């Protein structure tokens, strides 16, 4: 009985030893494979660095060519006798073009310099905009408030932690001049690389244009240009028929964004938003002016006109503006005569029965 027990015990021990040996062999084999892989990676990296290092360095430093597009004014709208109904009114503007080497610090310095020469509206500043500005302006103060764990964060997570450290007291300490810098910094920082944003295009004075033009060498990316806005020659008459155009700030309408982006529009392009402006967008939109920019080591080396821009095509309506004015007068007088009665509104449409052309339309209430 004892002999049998001894034999079984020795057999169990032998099996355990075999399992240990197999496990040890597998671990050693796996370690050897990992070691060989690391050796191959190091050899490959050294090969690329020594043999092709100069080639890669030259490719990195080669000039890159970037195509930049500038918007063109929309086409005009005329009545049936080619009298202007909707035109474009030129506006003096201050613009900013963002290069690929623009940094928050460089944009902050440009914004601070620019506030010496122009006034800006800060009413649209939000608390988050002021937090972004404060974090960019006073990074050392903010970083001192970070915990040891937060300092280990990187990228977007680090920035979120920094923004949280900007207090309401910090924001309250900002004066009007700093808020002016903040709104300019916001516009510059939110602009994609190789894109242009309108810094100011409303109520730009001749004095502001002169001062900015005089100091352009101290304001990289800043330029003086011309912008436009729709000009309705007959005031509110037919304005609801003409429709409206989006602003650069609103950009592409949300319900048309995917379609328009597929057609080559930019997010901040102005497009027809409703009625005739929207329905005849393909006709009224202009052809963008295209420039080729040669970027060498992050610096703008050369700018070349590739495609000349063209104003949008004009639209001629079947409406006669003199006849339209008579319709408006008829509708207004009719409502006056019916004052106090049940009907409080009146709509009139005049159509040529021979071809269906609309000669005039009006609505009064």
State how far the Cα of 2 lies from the Cα of 259, in Å rounded to an integer.
89
User: Distance between CA 163 and CA 159 in Å, rounded?
Assistant: 6
String of DSSP letters for 233-281: TTTTTTHHHH--B--TTT-S-GGGHHHHHHTT--TT---B-SHHHHHTH
- Nearest-CA neighbor of 199 among 266, 137, 113, 289? 113
Of the candidates 67, 274, 96, the one whose C-alpha atom is nearest the C-alpha of residue 184 is 96
Q: Would you state the pLDDT for residue 212?
A: 95
**Are the C-beta atoms of 305 and 293 separated by less than 8 Å?**
no
Q: Is the dihedral of CA 233, 238, 243, 246 positive or negative?
A: positive
> Considering the chain, what percentage of its residues have pLDDT values greater than 70?
87
**Percent over 90 (pLDDT), the chain:** 58
Q: Which helix (H) or strand (E) holds 113?
A: helix 104-114
pLDDT value at residue 63: 58
- The pLDDT mean for the chain works out to 87
Q: How many CB atoms lie within 10 A of CB 86?
A: 25
59 pLDDT tier (thresholds 50, 70, 90): low
Using 50, 70 and 90 to split pLDDT, how confident is the model at 20? low
pLDDT at 252: 92
Whether 164 and 71 have beta carbons less than 8 Å apart is answered as: no
What pLDDT is attached to residue 296? 73
Range of lowest pLDDT (21-30, 65-74, 194-203): 21-30
Q: Which of 207-216, 257-266, 297-306 has the highest mean pLDDT?
A: 207-216
Output the pLDDT for position 16: 63
More confident position, 67 or 118: 118
Q: How large is the average pLDDT for residues 275-297?
A: 88
| Spatial distance between the Cα atoms of 281 and 263, rounded to a whole number of angstroms | 12
- 259 Cα distance to chain centroid: 17
Range in 46-60, 109-123, 346-360 the model is least confident about: 46-60
Direct distance between the N- and C-terminal alpha carbons of the chain, in angstroms, rounded to an integer: 116
The yes-or-no verdict on residue 349 having pLDDT over 70 is: yes
* Residue of higher predicted confidence among 363 and 52: 363
* Residue range 228-282, pLDDT digits in tens: 999 999 999 999 999 999 988 888 999 999 999 998 888 889 999 999 999 999 9
Distance (Å) of CA 149 to CA 38, 131, 152, 153: 31, 22, 5, 7
Residue-level pLDDT at 5 = 52
Long-range contacts for 35-42 (Cβ within 8 Å, ≥24 apart)?
A: none
pLDDT grade, residue 195 (50/70/90)?
A: confident
Is residue 251 within 8 Å of residue 268, measured between CB atoms? Answer: yes
For 86, the enclosing helix (H) or strand (E) is strand 84-98
């Amino acid at each position: 009985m004892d002999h049998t027990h001894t034999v079984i015990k020795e057999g169990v021990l032998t099996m355990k030893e075999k399992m240990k040996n197999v496990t040890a062999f597998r671990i050693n084999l796996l370690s050897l494979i990992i070691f060989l892989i690391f050796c191959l990676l190091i050899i490959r990296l050294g090969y690329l660095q020594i043999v092709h290092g100069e080639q890669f360095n030259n490719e990195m430093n080669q000039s890159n060519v970037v195509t930049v597009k500038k918007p063109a004014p929309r086409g005009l709208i005329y009545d049936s006798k080619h009298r202007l109904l909707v035109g474009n009114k030129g506006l003096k503007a201050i613009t900013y073009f963002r290069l690929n080497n623009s940094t928050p610090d460089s944009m902050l310095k440009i914004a601070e310099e620019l506030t010496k020469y122009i006034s800006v509206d800060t009413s649209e500043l939000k608390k988050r905009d002021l937090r972004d500005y404060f974090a960019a302006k006073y990074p050392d103060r903010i970083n001192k408030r970070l915990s040891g764990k937060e300092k280990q964060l990187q990228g977007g997570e680090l920035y979120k932690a920094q923004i949280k450290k900007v207090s309401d007291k910090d924001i309250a300490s900002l004066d009007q001049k700093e808020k002016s810098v903040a709104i300019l910094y916001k516009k510059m920082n939110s602009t994609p690389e190789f894109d242009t944003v309108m810094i100011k295009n409303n109520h730009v004075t001749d004095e502001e244009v002169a001062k900015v033009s005089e100091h352009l060498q101290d304001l990289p990316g800043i330029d003086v240009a011309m912008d436009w806005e729709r000009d309705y020659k007959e005031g509110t008459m037919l304005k609801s028929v003409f429709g409206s155009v989006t602003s650069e700030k609103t950009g592409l309408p949300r319900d048309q964004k995917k379609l328009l982006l597929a057609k080559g529009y930019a997010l901040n392009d102005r497009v027809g938003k409703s009625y005739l402006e929207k329905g005849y967008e393909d006709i009224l939109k202009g052809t963008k002016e295209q420039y080729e920019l040669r970027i060498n080591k992050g610096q703008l080396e050369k700018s070349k006109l590739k495609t000349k821009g063209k104003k949008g095509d004009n639209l001629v309506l079947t409406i006669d503006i003199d006849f339209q004015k008579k319709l408006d007068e008829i509708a207004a007088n009719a409502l006056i005569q019916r004052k106090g009665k049940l009907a409080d509104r009146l709509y009139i449409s005049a159509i040529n029965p021979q071809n269906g052309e609309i000669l005039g339309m009006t609505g009064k209430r």
